[in-house]
Structure 1
Amino acid sequence: MYRMIVIPLISFVICFSLFSCYEHDEKKIKRLVEEWTYKEIDFPSVPIFTKFARDTIMGYYERDCDYKILTYVDSIGCIRCHLSFSAWKPFIELLKDTCPSCNVLFFIHPMSRKNIEYLLTKEGFDYPVCIDEHDSINKLNHFPIETIFQTFLLDKNNRVVAIGNPIHNPKIKELYLNIITGKKSLLKEIDSRTPTTVVLSTYQFNIGTFNWGKKQFVEFSFTNSGDNPFVVEEIYTPCGCTTVEYSKEPVQPGGNLKVKVEYQAEHSGHFDKTITVYCNAEGSPFHLKISGNAK
């Protein structure tokens, strides 16, 4: 009982400090984290999990697990960006190797089942998902509308012990793994790396108008203006249409890091994408934006 109470309290403190880095109202963040920590999640009576939205996986939801990661995705906005299949794949494989007693539950409320089936097949995402066409789980729980608050770490009794998306924030990922594996590093300093400062060439880049079938390339430059090495921990892209290339070696003071971005439009229309850079520089994470019109 003591451990069951302590973990939610610790995760509440850490989650609040992690989300405080975001451009959100601090009081709202505190209220959301406080409201959901140790809240019991209600599930539909018979959720059906399938592979590629076709083949039913029997017994997946019923697995006896010490922890579950629940992620809810609704039909608002770019559903492919919200799902981030390419980022979930390595994280799930990591869980299989290090935390086999943890299950990942995807509940997707799509506008079109065919679109989800197409996305799952195209991305080769063969992990079980629940296509919740009636939005049943959201109706039972009334999840926050902010996507960063629609992923939860649950204990054996389906109570929330942490909140946040581990594939969009390396510190949330570390928090989840520490809780699941029982490591004692829950109380360690959130970020013990020696900080530095950087000068960014630009925060946003407008590609302009281009043929949607042609790949586009842009480059962002980080100059280390501080006294310590500059280290990029993770760079997250919104979906598979955007990829990045950069050196993972520390950049010495005065040095420069180039982040090369490749964008491949999937159809014509205006786009606005955000790339998030987590690093040891003051102001991290940095949000880089690319936009344009694909014809």
Structure 2
Amino acid sequence: MKKTIGILAVLVAIIGFTSMALAIGEFKFESETHDYGSIPQNKPASYDFKFSNTGDAPIIITEVKPSCGCSVAEFTRTPIKPGESGTITVTYNAAAKGPFTKQFTVKSNTKTPVKTLTVKGNVE
């Protein structure tokens, strides 16, 4: 009898942990790439990558890392609940003339924990 209750308790615990593990947030970006086109030199250019949480649990962004020191990023720091939206704002400093492509690595607790956003353009 005790053995049956013990096995039943273990099965209930496994089912509980499994169902908790299935709840996860997921990004749905409007776009993961932005083309600035031609921009003037020495005038920083910014873009808002907007997203919504299409998952079942809050999204927590832990880091948005630019591929170089010529770019910065700001992002929604509070948890984004399912169905809610957030923004990652990226800024390229546009100091060097010529074409550019820069990536931003987004780390989070989502189904896809590492995502890459890209901006490109040409500094005149």
Shorter-chain TM-score range: 0.7 to 0.9
> Contact conserved, 2:64 with 2:74, CA < 8 A, in 1?
no
Q: Which has the higher strand share?
A: 2
User: Is the partner of 1:227 in helix, strand or coil?
Assistant: coil
Q: Which has the higher helix share?
A: 1
Offset at residue 195 of structure 1 (A):
2.4
> Contact conserved, 2:43 with 2:95, CA < 8 A, in 1?
no
For residues 103 and 113 of structure 2, what CA distance do their matches in structure 1 show? 14
Q: Which of 208, 215, 222 in structure 1 is aligned with 2:51?
A: 222
Offset at residue 283 of structure 1 (A):
2.0
For residues 280 and 200 of structure 1, what CA distance do their matches in structure 2 show? 16
Offset at residue 279 of structure 1 (A):
0.8
Q: What is the match of residue 246 of structure 1?
A: 75
* Structure 1 ranges of 4+ moved more than 4 A: none
**Does residue 82 of structure 2 align to residue 269 of structure 1?**
no
Q: What is the match of residue 120 of structure 1?
A: none
For residues 119 and 87 of structure 2, what CA distance do their matches in structure 1 show? 15
TM-score, scaled relative to structure 2: 0.78
Offset at residue 266 of structure 1 (A):
2.2
Q: What is the match of residue 23 of structure 1?
A: none
Residue type of the partner of 2:97? S
Point out where structure 2 has 5 or more consecutive residues left out of the alignment: 1-20
Q: What is the match of residue 205 of structure 1?
A: 34
User: Is the partner of 2:31 in helix, strand or coil?
Assistant: coil
Spell out, residue by residue over 1:247-279, the C-alpha distance to the aligned partner (whole angstroms, 9 max, x if none): 211011111110111110221000000101011
For residues 267 and 237 of structure 1, what CA distance do their matches in structure 2 show? 17
Residue type of the partner of 2:56? D
Q: Which structure would you say has the larger RCO, counting Cα contacts within 8 Å and 6 or more residues apart?
A: 2
Question: Alignment RMSD, CA only?
Answer: 1.4
Q: What is the match of residue 282 of structure 1?
A: 111
For residues 111 and 33 of structure 2, what CA distance do their matches in structure 1 show? 19
The structure with the larger Rg is: 2
Residue type of the partner of 2:43? K
Count of equivalent residues: 103
Q: What is the match of residue 4 of structure 2?
A: none
1:24-43 alignment runs, 5 A limit: none
User: Is the partner of 2:56 in helix, strand or coil?
Assistant: coil
> Contact conserved, 2:64 with 2:75, CA < 8 A, in 1?
no
- Percent identity of paired positions between Structure 1 and Structure 2: 27
Q: What is the match of residue 84 of structure 2?
A: 255
User: Is the partner of 2:59 in helix, strand or coil?
Assistant: coil
Residue type of the partner of 2:114? P
For residues 201 and 242 of structure 1, what CA distance do their matches in structure 2 show? 21
Q: What is the match of residue 123 of structure 2?
A: 294
Offset at residue 284 of structure 1 (A):
2.5
Residue type of the partner of 1:241? C
1:1-295 alignment runs, 5 A limit: 195-295=24-124
Point out where structure 1 has 5 or more consecutive residues left out of the alignment: 1-191
